[in-house]
Amino acid sequence: MSTSDPSKLISKADKLTKLSLTRWSADWKSATVLYEQAANGFRVARNYEKAKLAFEKASQGQEMLSSPWDAAKHMESAAALAKELRNWAEVIDFYRKASELYMQCDRPQPASDALAKGARALEDALPDDAIQLYTDACVILEDDGKEQMAFDLYRAATSVYVKLEKYTDAAAFLLRLGLAADKCNARNSQCKAYLSAIIVYLYAHDLKQAEKCYNDCSQIDAFLGSDQNRCASKLLSAYTEGDVEEIKRVAQSSAISNLDNVIIKLARKLP
């Protein structure tokens, strides 16, 4: 059966599901099996369009069979194929649907994973939508109480913002990262997040904001006694004095070199 033409399988499955005079209820079980086989066949044949279609139908079938997990899995495969086809709207749709299905299974983690995958796929093409997806993913994780996983997502979102040169948004995201880190007692990540936020503000030539940010962060004990705090204060004092050499020297220091790559690039370009 699996060796036969996938299109034949699809037409067969379609016939099974279409309601007509002879058929009073669609036979989703066999139809789904056929759809899955057809989809795999198309994928092997690199017929992405048809494969995507087949996966969609398979997922629908699984939904009808009330197994959201399998449905979600098929949706994800369909989305991956849509990515190959660069059909971005469909990519967003599919990934969102997949994540919803995962939530139906009470599995928030795969849900956020699905959204993250979608965001990563969209980073170059539709950065705004990517950011939306990242935010939604982070929200899902935070609701579940698993902020630790959200760190990577926050960092990815910040890098997208920086690419878009939306520095205030980037800094805001970093502060959210700091908040999440605080909840999990991840002191090092928290301090790094705050230092990165200050650097982003400085890069945007917003000295007042940077100082305000620094003051806010100094309220937090964990940040106050850390290496990153000292580095930040050195940076700010160098800025207020207008000492370019000092700024460059601080940017070369090890505290900054441990941050994210994107942030390091900003720091090196500082004055």
Interacting residues with other proteins (CB under 8 A): 146, 148-149, 184-189, 227, 254-255, 258
Which residues fall within 8 angstroms of residue 223, CB to CB, at 6 or more apart?
A: 190, 191, 194, 217, 229
Which residues 6+ apart lie within 8 Å of 150 measured at CB?
A: 137, 138, 141, 142, 177, 180
Q: How far is the CB of 206 from other proteins (least distance, A)?
A: 27
SS3 130: helix
Considering the complex, state which of residue 115 and residue 256 has its C-beta at the smaller distance from other proteins: 256
Give the sign of the dihedral formed by CA 42, CA 46, CA 49, CA 53: positive
Q: Which is nearer to other proteins, 26 or 184 (CB)?
A: 184
Question: How far, in Å, CA of 215 to CA of 232, rounded?
Answer: 11
Smallest separation, CB 189 to other proteins (Å): 6
**At its nearest, how many Å lie between other proteins and the CB of residue 148?**
4
Minimum distance of other proteins from residue 187's CB (angstroms): 8
- The residue behind tokens 């959210």 is 176
Nearer to other proteins, 84 or 144 (CB): 144
Closer to other proteins by CB, 168 or 188: give it.
Answer: 188
CA end-to-end span of the chain: 67
Shortest Å, Cβ 188 to other proteins: 4
At 149, the amino acid letter reads: M
Closest to other proteins by CB, 35 vs 151, is 151
Contact 200, 266 (CB under 8 A): yes
